[in-house]
């Protein structure tokens, strides 16, 4: 009404002016009818104008309000309904259509939409709730029928008087609705994570302890109460003291005095304490108490908050780790680390007193082959058996250990009897030989040993162990060998040093020559190839076998020069024979691990093949298994490169190293050479037979051919042929011989073979 005061005043003034005009007309112009008519018409027109202006103004105001609300609604990032207080739809914003999936067309008939959106039974109460201006949560049905959780807030935006000038007021309401789906998801996630948290607290059994600043009793969580069977409700420090092990009472008192000496600055520091407490089952367990001081905001009172976790298992793990560092897992004996420690202690006793010790190291002959053929678990059983045999031989003041693979070591106090170590070793050998089980029924298990006296002339225990190990290494693969480190062995060490010097001179003087040994096929007796074996012919004519200088050359690195000579000479000689029209054969050359791991080994082989003009398929490189074990990945890639040259690869002395059959299978070799130690007893020993046939079988599966070394009699050859072995090499068919003799051998062998009608094995033997 106030908005139209101007129009009312003008209308009122107009009425007054009209009345003045009519009175004047009556008083001064004898009430002339024409004047009266004009005045009435003018005033009526003026009144109509005022009324028209007023109504226009009101409509404009309404339109303005509507436009303003629509703009406002569109700017809100939520569903908005603008409506009258009598629940008549006026406007919904774009967000509303987006959330509930309605098009603009759908909502043109607003009330219908609202009925669709809100379920009929919820409609009225909902509207009521909306008008009551509360945070009202209800589900809205989207166009696709989906029920969407929403929360609504409603405000009165405008109060407009109705344009019909009836004076009634019109309330414009704006309801803003938020989609709760996301919020509910978050809530669910929160609830889930809360559950998880509670569960993890329960499972990990973390107990909570809280001392509020200024209070004297402690709050304990349910977990903590269950951990220690504490009474219900808050507890006192006495109850804590009662459960702490007396050995850790100092720890708890330290914490108490720390809390009492509270500083505000300390509250950020988190402390840890490990202590033993009586657990709910009555046993003492290890717990970790992690705590922090709590500051009171308005006083100097102290408080403390902390968590308690059972760490018994961790403590057990720690001691297990410690144990693992010193105890061999398979046998439970000391491992090498621990043996070195106790050995050093014994060594110091030897140095400081008259007490002496023996150090014995044993090695199960061909253990790794037993391991491969009978299975890892049975291998472990054998190690455990060996452990108990060796332990039974230890005496007071002595020690037993498994110092690696199948090597067991003993430290035995010296009783003054020089034959004591031999007696111990013989007993171990006898007991091991007599080991009978389902797995090792037919096999005779043997072991070799090396031993030495712990002498105070050594620098430390590791040198003593070196001596025993060196002696063991001299057993050279033969069974049940026992070697003592004595003056003779010591002299050998000195001799080796001398040989080292001589080798260097021999290379200069060209004292090395190659011998060749034939390799024969077990299928038809044909000559398949020859192995080039080096000989050192001294100026006095004495022939030094390779075992006496190759290992020394390896140590001094002069092996590279020797190997280059062998490679060149073998290829040159083979090509010469081929050019002479002799049978084309493959020549095998032995390379050591030192050669093999030289970076230029591949280019060396390539160069030799180029300079000698030998086709690569007539060259075979023999490598030992121990070489591959050093670095299997590198070995495989290096071997691949050799194979890529077209050169063959053989695994020499198979069975004497520590590799496993599965290992061999990953190496790109075409021929496996069974070591002489298996062949030596083949005709007498079941175990050798079993091992040999198992290895041949496995190799066949992998398409690897087999050759037996050191075949000396027809019986061995027959067994090998029966077992499926492809080739043989040994004195039975020909010893290593100089080049001129081998040349004759080729011709003669082929002549014999052509004439032969009987069995070539017996012929060779005869
Ligand atoms: P290897 O490569 O396993 O060679 C086989 C050895 O067994 C040869 O010994 C050979 O004479 C011997 N042998 C062959 N058949 C029989 C047999 O029926 N009975 C017996 N008792 N022995 C037999 P050799 O020539 O003394 O060589 C010994 C080892 O020295 C070789 O074993 C090889 O590892 C190494 N060797 C030989 N020549 C070379 C070489 O040129 N370079 C390198 N790096 N090592 C070589
Ligand atoms: Mg060889
Ligand atoms: Mg060999």
- The pLDDT of residue 748: 93
Q: Residue 427: in which H helix or E strand, if any?
A: helix 420-433
Higher pLDDT, 67 or 303: 303
**Neighbouring-strand partners of residue 101:** none
| Distance in Å, CA 506 to ligand 1 centroid | 20
Q: How far apart are CA 74 and CA 309, in angstroms?
A: 56
Does the C-beta of 710 come closer than 6 Å to ligand 1? yes
- Compute CA 638 distance to the chain's CA centroid, rounded to the nearest angstrom: 27
Distance CA 511, CA 491 (A): 25
User: Which secondary-structure segment (H or E) carries 464?
Assistant: helix 461-473
Minimum mean pLDDT range among 94-103, 115-124, 449-458, 585-594: 115-124
Q: pLDDT by residue (tens digit) across 625-647? A: 766 665 667 788 889 999 999 99
Global pTM exceeds 0.85: no
SS3 of residue 742 by DSSP:
helix
Q: Name residue 291's beta-bridge partners.
A: 271, 306
Domain residue limits, the chain:
2-57, 76-179, 189-316, 329-485, 497-765
Q: Is the CB of 533 under 6 A from ligand 1?
A: yes
Q: 2-6, 29-33, 438-442, 504-508 — which one is most confidently predicted on average?
A: 504-508
Residues that place a CB less than 5 A from ion ligand 3: 652-653, 709
Q: How many alpha carbons lie under 13 Å from residue 556 in its C-beta half-sphere?
A: 17
Mean pLDDT of 595-609: 90
Ligand 1 centroid distance, CA of 533 (Å): 6
CATH architecture of 189-316: 2-Layer Sandwich (3.30)
Band of pLDDT at residue 190, cut at 50, 70 and 90: very low
Considering the chain, what percentage of its residues have pLDDT values greater than 70? 77
State both tokens at 314. 């961790």
Please, what CATH class does the domain formed by 497-765 belong to?
alpha beta
Element housing 503 (H / E): helix 487-508
The label of the residue with tokens 């050594």 reads: 458
Name the average pLDDT for the chain: 81
**pLDDT tops 80 at residue 529:** yes
What is the pLDDT averaged over residues 401-418? 92
Looking at per-residue pLDDT, the higher value among 574 and 696 belongs to 574
Q: What is the pLDDT of residue 110?
A: 54
Residues that place a CB less than 5 A from ion ligand 2:
590, 622, 652
* 3-class DSSP string for 286-324: EEEEEEEEEECCCCCCEEEEEEEEECHHHHHHHHHHHHH
Give me the architecture of the 329-485 domain, per CATH: 2-Layer Sandwich (3.30)
Chain centroid offset of residue 180 CA = 43
Nearest listed ligand to the Cα of residue 550: 1
Helix residue ranges, H only, 89-207:
94-100, 110-117, 120-131, 181-204
- Among 3.40.50.720, 3.40.50.300, 3.30.450.20, 1.10.3720.10, what is the CATH number of 76-179? 3.30.450.20
Q: Which pLDDT does position 570 carry in this prediction?
A: 98
Q: Tell me the pLDDT tens digit for each residue of 719-753.
A: 999 999 999 999 999 999 999 999 999 999 999 88
Q: 94: which 2 tokens?
A: 């774009």
Q: Is 525 helix (H, G, I), strand (E, B) or coil?
A: coil
For atom 8 of ligand 1, which residue has the closest CA? Answer: 533
Residue 4: per-residue pLDDT: 60
Cβ–Cβ < 8 Å for 690, 720: no
Return the exposure string of 392-407: e unless at least 16 CB atoms fall within 10 Å of the residue's CB, then b.
ebbeeebbbbbbbebb
Q: Which ligand gives the minimal distance to the CA of 711?
A: 1
Mean pLDDT of 310-336: 80
* pLDDT tier, 322 (very low <50, low <70, confident <90, very high otherwise): low
Instruction: At 352, list the tokens.
Output: 């400081």
Say what the pLDDT of residue 712 is. 96
What is the predicted pLDDT for the residue at 196?
55
Q: Using CA atoms, how far apart are residues 355 and 647, in angstroms rounded to an integer?
A: 59
Confidence of residue 528 (pLDDT cuts 50, 70, 90): very high
Q: Which of 639, 661, 658, 659 is nearest to 650 (CA)?
A: 639
Q: What is the pLDDT of residues 155-181, one digit of tens each?
A: 666 556 555 555 566 666 667 777 777
Kindly state the average pLDDT of the residues 606-619. Answer: 97
| Edge-to-edge strands, sheet with 147-161 | 89-92, 79-84, 169-179, 147-161, 136-141
The count of C-alpha atoms lying within 13 angstroms of the C-alpha of 751, restricted to the half-sphere facing its C-beta, is: 6
% of the chain surpassing 90 pLDDT:
32
Cα of 300 to ligand 3 centre, how many Å? 86
Ramachandran class of 703: left when φ > 0, alpha when ψ lies in -120 to 50, beta otherwise: left
Pocket test for ligand 1, best of 590, 707, 730 (most atoms within 8 A of CB): 590
Ligand 1 mutation target, pool 546, 568, 676, most atoms within 8 A of CB: 546
* pLDDT tier at 353, thresholds 50, 70, 90: confident
Nearest to 530 by CA among 512, 513, 515, 546: 515
CA-566 nearest atom, ligand 1? 41
What are the structure tokens assigned to 61, written together? 């105001």
Q: Please classify residue 64 by burial: count the beta carbons closer than 10 Å to its beta carbon, then call 0-12 exposed, 13-18 middle and 19+ buried.
A: exposed
Which residue of 507, 516, 520, 533 sits with most ligand 1 atoms within 8 Å of its CB, as the best mutation to test the pocket? 533
Question: Which tokens hold the place of 35?
Answer: 């004047």
Candidate of 519, 543, 679, 709 to mutate for ligand 1, largest count of ligand atoms within 8 Å of Cβ: 709
Angle value at C-alpha 463, between 459 and 465, nearest 5 degrees: 140
Using alpha carbons, select from 220, 302, 210 the residue that is nearest to residue 257: 302
> In angstroms, what is the span from residue 338 Cα to ligand 2's centroid?
38
For 40-53, how does the pLDDT look when each residue is reduced to its tens digit (9 = 90+)? 777 777 777 766 66
pLDDT digits (tens, 9 = 90+) for 73-117: 676 667 777 777 666 667 778 778 888 887 767 766 655 656 666
Q: Which of 611, 608, 613, 605 is nearest to 648 (CA)?
A: 605
User: For ligand 1, is residue 653 a contact (CB within 6 Å)?
Assistant: yes
Residue-wise pLDDT tens digits, 415-453: 888 899 999 999 999 999 888 766 666 667 889 999 999
Q: CA–CA separation, 591 vs 471, rounded Å?
A: 25
Report the nearest-CA residue for atom 12 of ligand 1.
710
Say if residue 618's pLDDT is above 90: yes
- The pLDDT, as a whole number, for residue 56 is 59
- Position in ligand 1 atom list of the atom nearest CA 675: 3
Say if CB 764 and CB 729 are below 8 A apart. Answer: no
Sheet strands (E) in 126-191: 136-141, 147-161, 169-179
| Domain 76-179 identical in fold to domain 189-316 | yes
Largest CA distance in the chain: 179
DSSP assigned state of 516: E
Q: What confidence score (pLDDT) does residue 382 get?
A: 92
């Amino acid at each position: 009404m106030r908005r139209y005061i101007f129009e009312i005043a003008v209308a009122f003034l107009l009425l007054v002016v009209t009345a003045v005009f009519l009175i004047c007309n009556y008083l001064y112009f004898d009430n002339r009818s024409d004047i009266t008519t004009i005045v009435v018409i003018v005033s009526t027109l003026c009144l109509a104008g005022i009324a028209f202006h007023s109504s226009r103004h009101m409509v404009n105001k309404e339109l303005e309000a509507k436009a303003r609300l629509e703009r406002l609604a569109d700017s809100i990032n939520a569903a908005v309904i603008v409506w009258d207080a009598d629940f008549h739809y006026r406007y919904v914003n774009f967000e509303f259509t987006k959330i509930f999936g309605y098009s603009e067309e759908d909502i043109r008939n607003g009330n219908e939409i609202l009925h669709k959106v809100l379920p009929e039974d919820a409609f009225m109460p909902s509207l009521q709730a909306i008008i009551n201006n509360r945070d009202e949560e209800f589900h809205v049905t989207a166009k696709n029928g989906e029920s969407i959780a929403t929360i609504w807030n409603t405000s009165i935006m405008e109060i407009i008087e109705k344009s019909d000038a009836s004076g009634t007021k019109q309330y414009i309401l704006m309801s803003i609705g938020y989609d709760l789906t996301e919020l509910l998801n978050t809530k669910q996630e929160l609830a889930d994570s809360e559950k998880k948290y509670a569960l993890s607290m329960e499972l990990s059994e973390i107990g909570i302890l809280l001392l509020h600043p200024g209070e004297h009793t402690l709050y304990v969580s349910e977990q903590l109460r269950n951990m220690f069977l504490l009474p219900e409700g808050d507890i006192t420090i006495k109850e804590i003291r009662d459960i702490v092990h007396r050995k850790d009472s100092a720890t708890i008192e330290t914490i108490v005095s720390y809390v009492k000496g509270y500083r505000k600055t300390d509250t950020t520091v988190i402390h840890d304490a490990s202590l033993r407490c009586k657990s709910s089952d009555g046993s003492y367990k290890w717990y970790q108490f992690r705590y922090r001081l709590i500051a009171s905001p308005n006083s100097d009172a102290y408080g403390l908050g902390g968590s308690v976790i059972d760490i018994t298992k961790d403590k057990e793990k720690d001691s297990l780790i410690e144990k693992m560092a010193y105890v061999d897992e398979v046998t439970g004996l000391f491992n090498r680390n621990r043996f070195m420690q106790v050995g050093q202690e014994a060594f110091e006793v030897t140095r400081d007193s008259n007490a002496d010790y023996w150090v014995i190291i044993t090695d199960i002959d061909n253990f790794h082959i037993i391991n491969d053929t009978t299975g890892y678990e049975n291998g472990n059983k054998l190690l455990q058996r060996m452990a108990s045999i060796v332990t039974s031989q230890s005496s007071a003041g002595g020690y037993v250990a498994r110092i690696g693979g199948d090597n067991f070591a003993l430290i035995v106090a010296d009783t003054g009897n020089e034959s004591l170590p031999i007696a111990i070793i013989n007993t171990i050998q006898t007991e091991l030989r007599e080991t009978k089980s389902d797995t090792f029924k037919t096999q005779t298990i043997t072991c070799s040993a090396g031993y030495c006296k712990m002498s105070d002339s050594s620098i430390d225990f590791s040198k003593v162990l070196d001596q025993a190990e060196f002696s063991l290494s001299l057993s050279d693969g033969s069974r049940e060998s026992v070697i003592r480190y004595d003056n003779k062995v010591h002299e050998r060490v000195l001799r080796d040093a001398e040989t080292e010097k001589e080798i260097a001179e021999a290379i200069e003087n060209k004292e090395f020559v190659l011998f060749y040994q034939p390799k024969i096929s077990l299928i038809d007796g044909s000559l398949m190839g020859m192995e080039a074996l080096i000989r050192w012919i001294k100026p006095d004519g004495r022939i030094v076998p390779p075992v006496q200088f190759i290992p020394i050359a390896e140590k001094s690195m002069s092996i590279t020069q020797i190997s280059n000579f062998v490679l060149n000479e073998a290829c040159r000689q083979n090509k010469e024979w081929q050019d002479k029209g002799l049978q084309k054969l493959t020549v095998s050359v032995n390379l050591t691990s030192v050669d093999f791991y030289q970076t230029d080994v591949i280019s060396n082989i390539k160069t030799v093949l180029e300079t000698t003009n030998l086709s690569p398929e007539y060259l075979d490189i023999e490598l030992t298994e121990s070489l591959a074990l050093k670095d299997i990945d590198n070995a495989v890639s290096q071997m691949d490169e050799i194979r890529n040259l077209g050169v063959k690869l053989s695994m020499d002395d198979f069975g004497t190293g520590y590799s496993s059959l599965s290992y061999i299978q990953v190496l790109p070799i075409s021929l496996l050479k069974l070591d002489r130690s298996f062949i030596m007893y083949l005709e007498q020993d079941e175990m050798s037979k079993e091992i040999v046939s198992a290895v041949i079988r496995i190799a066949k599966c992998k398409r690897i051919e087999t050759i037996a070394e050191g075949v000396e009699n027809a019986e061995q050859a027959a067994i090998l042929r029966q077992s499926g072995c492809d080739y043989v090499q040994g004195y039975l068919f020909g010893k290593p011989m100089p080049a001129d003799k081998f040349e004759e051998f080729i011709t003669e062998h082929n002549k014999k073979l052509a004439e032969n009608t009987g069995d070539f094995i017996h012929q060779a033997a005869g």
